Amino acid sequence: MSVKKQNLAVLANGEQVHLFTVSNGKMSFTVTDYGCTITGIYLPQKNGPTNDILLGHSTLPEYVMSDGYSFGSVVGRFANRIGGASFAIDGKKYQLDKNDNKINTLHGGFFRLDHVAWKAKVVDTKTSCGVVFSRRSPDGEQGFPGNLDVTVSYTLGKDNKLTMRYKAKTDKPTPVNFTNHAYFNLAGSGTILDHELQSDCKGYLEVDKNLIPTGKIIDVAGTPFDFTKAKTIGRDIGKVAPGYDHCYVTPAYKGKAAAPDPKKLVRAAVLYDPKSGRKMTMDTNQEGVQFYTANWVEGLTGKNGVKMVKHGAICLESQRFPDAPNKPDFPPCVLRPKETYDAVTVYGFSW
């Protein structure tokens, strides 16, 4: 188990950015304190070379210039969409950026938390090692109320499990919803259409023409959205043009109930690539997971100058329900003083 730290670059504001390499001797990942961005996950395979299974970029300037894709980065204060770019808490209305079709707020607005440097601390125990990032999001940042103290930890265990944990405290009531926007391709190249996906999610959120949830949960049975039995992602993707980009409801959802228990994780998905033999499991305490099949990355320059292709990856983003601040029948998303936001997702790898 080891964590290696190296200086990466100095930002225009004078802040030093670092790159951390975390290894358990069998697999490894690299992460930078710029946006808590995981820049690569390196997996062996049974009969072949080790590959990087994440879409992204080769250099820091490319991540700095990347507009809206958040490859491998932290997403917040509120991941996904907030309808009408506004919400109200205790009778007070808050206005946010309209950065999604000039109507909604997407992933926090124009100012992204993946475009700032975070404080970083290496953690190393007998069973896991990694990096903990921290930052205070000041009152009013992105339009959200409250000083929000956030920690984001990425740790790798001896059991090849990568744990992502997001914790936050606030001094004013505020919506909170963090995730990581990793783009996975277990083959390391090509598309993920031949990847097999199985999910215990039996429903997904219906959305309107602006991709805002209507409040209705649709049963996946008998639809192209049904992955309760393993099938290739490409089998029905043509029936869901331009591809999957939907919030599925995980078994953690118990209706309009209390916030999730960080000690109670549920199986949300299993991803398998038959060519490499690599498998990834996903366990989380969050009620939602956004399935996104990289529908809009075609032509972007990726690592080593290689052009990205449509459906070249899948994102499995654990989160609270989109537009939860405006949906009283959705599980609560407002963090209040003296409470702790605690979201946990574990990706397990085998080959």
Q: Helices then strands (H, E): number in the chain? A: 1, 27
For residue 180, the cross-strand partners are: 74
> CA dist 170 to 38, 126, 257, Å?
26, 32, 21
CA-closest candidate to residue 267, choices 256, 249, 281: 281
Omega cis (within 30) before 77? yes
CA dist., res. 228 & res. 201, Å (int) = 7
Neighbours of 159 (CB within 10 A): 13
Helix, strand, coil shares of the chain, percent, nearest 5, are 5, 45, 50
Locate tokens 């991803």: which residue? 271
CA dist., res. 56 & res. 240, Å (int) = 25
CA dist., res. 32 & res. 17, Å (int) = 7
246 is known as an active-site residue: no
CA-closest candidate to residue 220, choices 199, 237, 235: 199
CA dist., res. 187 & res. 206, Å (int) = 31
The 3-state DSSP class for residue 309 equals coil
Strand duo 174-175 + 334-335: pairing = antiparallel
Q: Point out the catalytic residue in the list 107, 181, 195, 246.
A: 181
Q: Are 343 and 318 in contact (CB under 8 A)?
A: yes
Neighbours of 261 (CB within 10 A): 11
CA dist., res. 162 & res. 261, Å (int) = 19
181 is known as an active-site residue: yes
Catalytic positions:
181, 317
